[in-house]
């Protein structure tokens, strides 16, 4: 499935297909969504939505160099929406709905997932920047663009996120932090 037809009169860029996009960036999108939402099924819903949006927004993402950043930005925004969406909030406040257990969805049987699981347990806004900076290896300026805040705010969150990680790891006694 062709993602974007080159506009008339412009230099023809390499044809980008939806399959290409999923192949190149699918795992990154799915992992960010899993980490943000801590729920595999929800993450797959977001994954689908992100790539459908990419398909429908082909005009705005013709620059291959910007595709990854665009996808991560939409994924992060979509996850934030999901965390506070109207439909999600319609879950029962009468029934006792168990919180999703991150260990059931991610790394349940992994040997000593210590730091990675500690990252997943961070509050969402810290988790987001820690993952984008350290896992996706984005510079602070790019993290700022993805999250939609200033670089100063990103550095503050990174600092506070690291502090929270130290506390969590020290509490578990997993390592000298």
Partner 1 sequence: MSDLEARLADLRREADATIFVDVAVTPELRERVVRAALASADAAERVQPVRRRAGTRVVRRRGAGVVAATAGVVLVAVLAVVQVWPGGTRAASAALTVKPADARYLVAIADPHSLAGSTDVVVLADGVSDRIPVEIDSASALTYRWSPDGRRLVFGNRGDLFVFDSTTGRTTNVTRTPRRWELLPSWSPDGTMIAFTSRPLDRGEGPPPEAPASLDWVMVGAFGGNPTVTRIDGRGYRVVSDETTTSAPTWSPDSTTLAFASDGVVEGDVPATASNRRDGTISLANVATGAVRVVATRLGRGARYVGAPTWSPTGSELAVFFSDSDRFPSRDEVLQGHAPAVRQGWALLDLDTGDISVIHSYEAPFVPRGPARWSDDGTLLALLLRQETAIAEPSELLVVRRGGGPPVLRLPGVFSHVDWEPGAHRLAARDDLRPPSVVLLGVGDERARVEQLRFDGEIDGLAWRAGNGS
Q: Which two tokens stand for residue 10?
A: 């412009």
**Helix 40-56 vs helix 64-83: crossing angle, to nearest 10:** 130
Q: How far is the CB of 104 from partner 1 (least distance, A)?
A: 12
Question: Judged by CB under 8 A, does residue 84 bind partner 1?
Answer: yes
Q: Which two tokens stand for residue 134?
A: 């350290």
State the residue for tokens 């969150």.
Answer: 157
Distance from C-alpha of 65 to C-alpha of 72, rounded to nearest angstrom? 13
Question: Judged by CB under 8 A, does residue 87 bind partner 1?
Answer: yes
How many residues in the shown chain lie near partner 1 by CB under 8 A?
79
Binds partner 1 by CB under 8 A, chosen from 2, 6, 15, 48: 48
Question: Judged by CB under 8 A, does residue 148 bind partner 1?
Answer: yes
Residues 5-24 touching partner 1, rule: CB under 8 A, are 7, 18-19, 22
Binds partner 1 by CB under 8 A, chosen from 14, 65, 92, 173: 92
In degrees and rounded to multiples of 5, residue 140 shows phi and psi of: -55, -40
């Amino acid at each position: 499935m062709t993602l974007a037809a080159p506009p008339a009169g412009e230099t023809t860029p390499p044809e980008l297909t939806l399959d290409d996009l999923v192949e190149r960036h699918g795992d990154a999108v799915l992992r960010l969504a899993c980490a943000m939402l801590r729920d595999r099924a929800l993450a797959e819903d977001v994954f689908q939505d992100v790539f459908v949006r990419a398909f429908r927004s082909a005009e705005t993402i013709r620059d291959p160099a910007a595709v990854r950043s665009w996808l991560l930005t939409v994924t992060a925004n979509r996850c934030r929406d999901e965390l506070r969406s109207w439909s999600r909030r319609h879950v029962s406040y009468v029934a006792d709905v168990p919180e999703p257990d991150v260990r059931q969805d991610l790394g349940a049987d992994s040997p000593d997932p210590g730091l990675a699981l500690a990252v997943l347990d961070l509050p969402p806004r810290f988790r987001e920047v820690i993952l984008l900076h350290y896992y996706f290896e984005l510079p602070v300026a790019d993290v700022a663009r993805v999250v939609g805040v200033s670089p100063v705010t990103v550095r503050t969150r990174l600092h506070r996120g690291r502090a929270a990680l130290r506390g969590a790891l020290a509490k578990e006694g997993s390592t000298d932090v």
